[in-house]
Structure 1
């Protein structure tokens, strides 16, 4: 689009004046120029010339008063068009007086003044044509440029007219700017309230939401759009007719040389719109210090909101802004890409500052999953950003180059933030090693139950494996220097799997150490069985973690469990079984040694009482393991006791002697075994056979 240079005279607003000459003197600061006298002289000269041509003073006296013969805008426009056409064609232009220029400027002012707050000013008379108002503005812009060029060439003929036309042009641009901003903030067409009272929704009323870009000290980046209460609704789309109006306004501003103001207004309005969209999703920018000082529950909520807002911004808001830029600035493709790149980069950097606070937070295991969620959000939008970068790089003009540079910078920032989040996630996961090593409590868990560390770590790893793919990617990208030590073992070639296996081995070793805190070897075996079974069940119950751990590890842990079981059986029940054996001491040369037999029953009863009292208080929380233990005990002890009882019970006389030594029947023994490992400590009652 060709730019038309305009003299650098600008005012701050568009408003009609009560007296044309006073307004010129006030807005244009003409100083000592005696505008009233000049205009009167010009009018008098014109009247004198008309009188001479008509034959003297009688014609002048009979002339129609000037006020009654004021030409309309169409007539003046035709005269101006002829003047401009001659200039374009290199011909000598027809003479245009200062009075004509003043009348044309006044007619344009009068044309625009009543249109403020109305809607039909932007409606074209025919499809495909520019609205009449914009056509008038383009005409006065071209006139201003032509007069400025004439002035620059040394012709001072139109000094006052140049100031007058340029002043009106500037106020017209301010008017268009306000309308442009209003449409960009609200794509729906605002209707004027009957009677014109109150805020009509016009550009004039709404333009107070931002500083004027034409005025001194304008700071468009500080504009604030009022909050809509966080309704969460998406911004209304821009109808085609609104886009057509925006494009026509932009072209008019560009033609007048106001492209800088046009782009600034567009950027301010759309930045506000993006901020409002984020606010509607609940996202409010907070300082790094505020985020870091939040309790974790508040941080967790903020991160969840950020993720939702970030995905929405990249996947919905920015594509919409890209399309709007392309449509509004259709005749300046490179500029459209540059404006969108500026919008996208600003919006993303605004949101990425939040990640700095997340990375600076004190590391803790429970924060891993939210950090991974943020990592995934940034990773998943990479294809969208890559498409933005490719579009920005299209073409080789200055706008395309600037857009490509900004989008490349944004891509770099996203990659950098993703890297820091990945490093933080890897560090949090690796910190679990230190947590396991530091957990060296000297107090054993009562009853040999599952240790809290086992429960915590296995459930943590289970949830961690829901992020298996992401963590594999993180660990591949951010390998630690000592990762090569894991090569060749479990998880070889997969740093995440190697790290997870390392954690499991550390936990296993930690539990082995804790099992030695128990004075009773049988309870030590129960503790290892409980924790080993819990670990195995969690692994087999999670396809994700089972895929990482592998079947070989699970088989090894199953072997360990069987060994713990054997150790328990040996430590507890081998001694009891020895009491039920006739090892040549009870029967000597075919005769039962009654005292020895009495001692055997006595020791058996005491052993069972001790087992019931102590192991009834032990805990086996896994019902299947509990059942397996009871069945295996009963399968060994109950038949042996029934056999022993069948062989030697008749050697006691019925009555008190039997009651004293044979306190348990086979059924009683089964009942005792069924009460083991449920956490209830009781002593064996006296029973009768």
Structure 2
């Protein structure tokens, strides 16, 4: 019988049992040695024949490894002895019929092991799923490997008493697969073993990715989708990528490394072919999204994609460390680069959108401008991504094109702070907004109302900074500096808006003056106060704290002066005809009138309005 299919790998010491094999170089033969080899062949034939079946179907297949672990170990040992006999006859009598007989027995043994290997992969699928493998890999240290010739079946069983359920079955299956793989590879049948492994495991990986929702979408397909649909797919992808990397690919890498530990090239080949296609599809998706049309509204989903890959990078780099899977690392890297470019483009577009805002209609009552709310909410969300944004903008210098003095615009962080780049960028965006608001304030014909507008909007900005993660980027000094400016705006409003009221009263309200002079002062006060009251009940100060501070400041300046003037002159004017029409406001009513201000109600002439104009019901927040 010709030696068809003779495997050259028999001449390589690649198996765990290679230390027991004869040297491939020709050595003197002895009758005793040849007799031992004959005995190996006879013993192997006895064991192999017992478990060999011509049936190709698995319907009635009885697994040797499930039936008796001791006989399974005996089978593998018989194959190792047969391999040693084949080495002997190859070196001493290559035309021997014993060599042909050994080769035929080896082919029968390998067919049996192929079936065993496939059967274990198929029947133990639930115990070899990546989640089980990745979760229970720590149990390996407490279990003796099946292929250890020194361990008996009882010892092996005793070693896993502390491990139960899925962990136990998972470890047993991996140990069996490794033992078969080692045997087939060392016998020159690694190709057959690998073919079965790739076929079964790739289908499992592909099916798992499908259930995770990973789709193989091209750029052209994504480009045609509405953003709502893309956003929905991004949400699914964010859930899928973590499970795929930490469980699916990680577990598959562990299984490959464990089963094919005898050959680095085989385990690399298997892992690459099983996972590469799915991994490329997985990491291709975010790059395709990054290449789509960019608008500021898409920023946060792009940042989610970037952050997800960035957080998983240590695992990605470790799992796909083979040279044959370098394309996966390249794809993931390319996705990060594209996503980073998209973020920088959208930041530039966002700044440009603020600059280009052309709204010319003054906000009713000097309230908070929609642009202020939009920009600060956006910047607040950006601050939640300060970690990844710091990386993205680190090598992207800010080019300031502004006539503002440098002292007004300074880096809120030191250069040594890793977040200094994004801190600078966000500080600049806020400054662009504030400059835009200065222009919007000029739309008001009433100067005092323009200061209310500036105070309201800067108060909103500082509150947003103080109550969000922007605070940690811009710093308390930034907040304090701009809170002082809010007070300056409020002071300017008070000076401009109440100057006529304050100036209508004499500098010394307790000084003696003539009744005619007193009447004239009361008339001026009445006219000025009614005008201010009529206008400012339609103005708004949505922030309760700022509103109360402004009212309190006005009251402290107005009420004592008016009370002193009123008490000094009211008694004398009572005797004058028509004095009731001259003295319209009592000092105790001042607080009620002031309480009506800044709710945007437009109420006039009644102190009772204060009861219905409470901050809780009319404040716009």
Give your verdict on TM over 0.5: yes
Structure having the higher Rg: 1
Number of residue equivalences: 531
After TM superposition, give the deviation of residue 308 of structure 1 in Å. 2.6
Counterpart in 1 of 2:619? none
Counterpart in 1 of 2:161? none
> Among 168, 173, 192, which residue is 1:242 paired with?
173
Match status 1:305 vs 2:209:
no
Check the 8 A contact 1:250/1:329 in 2, yes or no: yes
After TM superposition, give the deviation of residue 457 of structure 1 in Å. 1.9
After TM superposition, give the deviation of residue 349 of structure 1 in Å. 1.3
Gaps of 5+ in 2: 8-28, 39-47, 130-165, 609-621
Check the 8 A contact 2:287/2:339 in 1, yes or no: no
Q: Which moved further from structure 2: 481-490 or 648-657?
A: 481-490
Match status 1:469 vs 2:394:
no
Check the 8 A contact 1:137/1:172 in 2, yes or no: no
Q: What do the CA deviations read for 1:109-134 (whole angstroms, capped 9, x no partner)?
A: 855468643333444755374575x8
Gaps of 5+ in 1: 9-84, 95-104, 190-234, 393-402
Q: Which moved further from structure 2: 340-349 or 426-435?
A: 340-349
3-state secondary structure, aligned to 2:432: helix
> Among 578, 583, 608, which residue is 2:529 paired with?
608
After TM superposition, give the deviation of residue 435 of structure 1 in Å. 1.9
* Alignment CA distance shift 1:261-1:445 (3 Å): farther
After TM superposition, give the deviation of residue 139 of structure 1 in Å. 11
After TM superposition, give the deviation of residue 657 of structure 1 in Å. 0.6
Match status 1:479 vs 2:396:
yes
Match status 1:378 vs 2:309:
yes
Check the 8 A contact 1:458/1:538 in 2, yes or no: yes
> Among 61, 65, 74, which residue is 1:118 paired with?
61
> Among 481, 503, 515, which residue is 1:578 paired with?
503
2: CA distance between counterparts of 1:354 and 1:637? 66
2: CA distance between counterparts of 1:660 and 1:374? 72
After TM superposition, give the deviation of residue 448 of structure 1 in Å. 0.8
1: CA distance between counterparts of 2:330 and 2:53? 53
Match status 1:418 vs 2:323:
no
Q: What do the CA deviations read for 1:589-630 (whole angstroms, capped 9, x no partner)?
A: x754x3x65454334323222222221111111111111111
Counterpart in 2 of 1:508? 434
2: CA distance between counterparts of 1:322 and 1:136? 31
Q: What do the CA deviations read for 1:73-122 (whole angstroms, capped 9, x no partner)?
A: xxxxxxxxxxxx99xx999x99xxxxxxxxxx999985546864333344
1: CA distance between counterparts of 2:182 and 2:536? 90
1: CA distance between counterparts of 2:118 and 2:252? 20
After TM superposition, give the deviation of residue 315 of structure 1 in Å. 2.0
Counterpart in 1 of 2:16? none
Q: What do the CA deviations read for 1:33-72 (whole angstroms, capped 9, x no partner)?
A: xxxxxxxxxxxxxxxxxxxxxxxxxxxxxxxxxxxxxxxx
Check the 8 A contact 2:118/2:197 in 1, yes or no: no
Match status 1:430 vs 2:361:
no
1: CA distance between counterparts of 2:179 and 2:563? 105
TM-score normalised to the size of structure 2?
A: 0.71
After TM superposition, give the deviation of residue 442 of structure 1 in Å. 0.3
1: CA distance between counterparts of 2:168 and 2:225? 37
Check the 8 A contact 1:5/1:256 in 2, yes or no: no
Give matches, 1:100-249, under 5 Å. 111-112=54-55, 116-123=59-66, 127=70, 129-130=72-73, 179=119, 182-183=122-123, 185-187=125-127, 239-247=170-178, 249=180
2: CA distance between counterparts of 1:686 and 1:660? 17
Compute the RMSD of aligned alpha carbons: 4.8
* Alignment CA distance shift 1:344-1:484 (3 Å): farther
Match status 1:277 vs 2:224:
no
2: CA distance between counterparts of 1:451 and 1:438? 15
After TM superposition, give the deviation of residue 517 of structure 1 in Å. 0.8
1: CA distance between counterparts of 2:256 and 2:64? 23
* Alignment CA distance shift 1:328-1:641 (3 Å): same
2: CA distance between counterparts of 1:664 and 1:552? 44
Match status 1:562 vs 2:487:
yes
2: CA distance between counterparts of 1:538 and 1:334? 57
Give matches, 1:501-540, under 5 Å. 501-540=427-466
* Alignment CA distance shift 1:347-1:528 (3 Å): same
3-state secondary structure, aligned to 2:345: helix
Counterpart in 2 of 1:6? 5
Check the 8 A contact 1:124/1:130 in 2, yes or no: no
> Among 282, 285, 297, which residue is 1:354 paired with?
285
After TM superposition, give the deviation of residue 515 of structure 1 in Å. 0.7
1: CA distance between counterparts of 2:63 and 2:250? 30
* Alignment CA distance shift 1:490-1:255 (3 Å): closer
1: CA distance between counterparts of 2:128 and 2:497? 84
3-state secondary structure, aligned to 1:643: helix
1: CA distance between counterparts of 2:65 and 2:116? 10
Counterpart in 2 of 1:62? none
Q: What do the CA deviations read for 1:235-262 (whole angstroms, capped 9, x no partner)?
A: 9986333234434554565577654443
